Amino acid sequence: MKDSAVKGRRRGPEADVSTLLGDDHEVFKAVLSGEEVGPVAVVGDPFSGRGPVLDRAVRDLDATRVSLDPGDGVDRIRARIDGGPVVIEDCQHLYERRIGGFEELSAFLDDLASIDATVVTGWNRYAWAYLAAVQSLDREFPVTVEIQPLPAERVAELVLDRYDVMPAFVADDPERGGSFVSTRHEIGWRDWSVSVPIPTLSPVAVKDLFSDGNLDPKDVTFGRLATVSNGNLGVATAIWETRHGSEVRPSDIAVAASDRDLDREEAFCLRIVLAKERINRAQLTGIVDGLDRVLGRLARDGLVTVEDDIVELVPAAVPAAAPATDRGRIL
């Protein structure tokens, strides 16, 4: 996770690599010890902790580290390769979703075939899934390890360890209704239409309902945080920081989501940003129709930020962004 993604906190210990990789840890260790031959792909959700896994590879392999930014190409990698092991972070920046946008990736894969040393690469999960489907990228990496969701206890431990002051954990008021979230839908009949709020059950709240009412509010809060963030430490930290005050209730843990449906262009743009995490505005021009308005709407919904022509995914919005694009079945 990049520090820029979560601001205003003291940096604490990262999750250990064995917890992050789960069952994949053994094969990762085998690659680092030389028992398995790479190249290796480390695949994870945005802000899920690819960084610490790659840090471990840099340390154990005494490798050269290359961090790719939006717009970087294979030349940036070639300039750093010195015949030894190399760790390349954020390889999703090697492609663009346009005609001719796979040239840098193709050149990188050609180079990969001729490198004898161990190469460890980090990939955004959504970019990896897309490239595996359309470019058979998974066939180029004999070893693939995936970042696993963290359990609630570990999320609690790591989030709280980042702060000097502990908030007070308070149980939710039983009279306070939080089981439903309201989304707006247009209902039309012939020439007449109206926007109607439709209540839908909140899965997180339903889980709380069936849980033991005597649970410690702290456990319930972090259980909810782990559920909402899908065990993603970066997202959990970002959601944690959206709350205010010295007290925290389980119902304070919520994903800020828009109550409107995204249209095709918005969902497509969001999917690209979800896969890239950070992207130049210029790279989206020509791919997304009506880019300025689309970005404006996504920014107003709190899904992305646009600063200095860089479009960034908001960490706390990842749990809302992923299902919004999955609904449209955008690859």
Partner 1 sequence: MTALQALVDLGIAQETLTRIVGVLVAAYLTARVVGYVLTAVVEHIPRRRISIKILVPITRVLIYGTAAYLVFGPLLQLSAAQLLAVSGLFGAALGFGLKDLFAAIIGGLVLVTERPYQVGDKVTIDGDYGEVTDIDLRATTLRTPDDSAVSVPNATMFTANVSNANDGQPEMMVVVELAVTASADVDRASTIVKEAMVTSKYVYVDDDHPFAVLVEDESYYRTIRGKAYVADLRDEFAFASDVTERSMAAFASEGIEIPEAPVRAPEHR
| Residue 72 Rama label (left phi>0; alpha psi -120 to 50; beta) | beta
Specify the residue for token string 């950070």. Answer: 278
Site for partner 1 in 18-57 (CB under 8 A): none
Site for partner 1 in 248-287 (CB under 8 A): 264-265, 268, 287
The distance of closest approach from Cβ of residue 300 to partner 1 in the complex, given in angstroms and rounded to an integer, is 21
The distance of closest approach from Cβ of residue 308 to partner 1 in the complex, given in angstroms and rounded to an integer, is 26
Q: Are 85 and 61 in contact (CB under 8 A)?
A: yes
User: Residue 138 interacts with partner 1 (CB under 8 A)?
Assistant: no
CA 160 remoteness from chain centre: 20
The distance of closest approach from Cβ of residue 190 to partner 1 in the complex, given in angstroms and rounded to an integer, is 13
| Residue 271 Rama label (left phi>0; alpha psi -120 to 50; beta) | alpha
Nearest to 267 by CA among 320, 313, 325: 325
Judged by beta carbon, residue 293 or residue 327, the one nearer partner 1 is 327
The distance of closest approach from Cβ of residue 197 to partner 1 in the complex, given in angstroms and rounded to an integer, is 14
User: Residue 99 interacts with partner 1 (CB under 8 A)?
Assistant: yes
Judged by beta carbon, residue 101 or residue 296, the one nearer partner 1 is 101
The distance of closest approach from Cβ of residue 21 to partner 1 in the complex, given in angstroms and rounded to an integer, is 25
User: Residue 297 interacts with partner 1 (CB under 8 A)?
Assistant: no
User: Residue 133 interacts with partner 1 (CB under 8 A)?
Assistant: yes
Nearest to 39 by CA among 91, 80, 76, 82: 91
Rg, the chain, Cα only: 21
Distance CA 188, CA 107 (A): 52
User: Residue 134 interacts with partner 1 (CB under 8 A)?
Assistant: yes
User: Residue 102 interacts with partner 1 (CB under 8 A)?
Assistant: yes
Which H or E element spans position 182? strand 180-189
The distance of closest approach from Cβ of residue 262 to partner 1 in the complex, given in angstroms and rounded to an integer, is 12
Distance CA 258, CA 331 (A): 22
User: Residue 73 interacts with partner 1 (CB under 8 A)?
Assistant: no
Residues that bind partner 1 (CB under 8 A): 97-102, 133-135, 185, 187, 264-265, 268, 287, 327-331
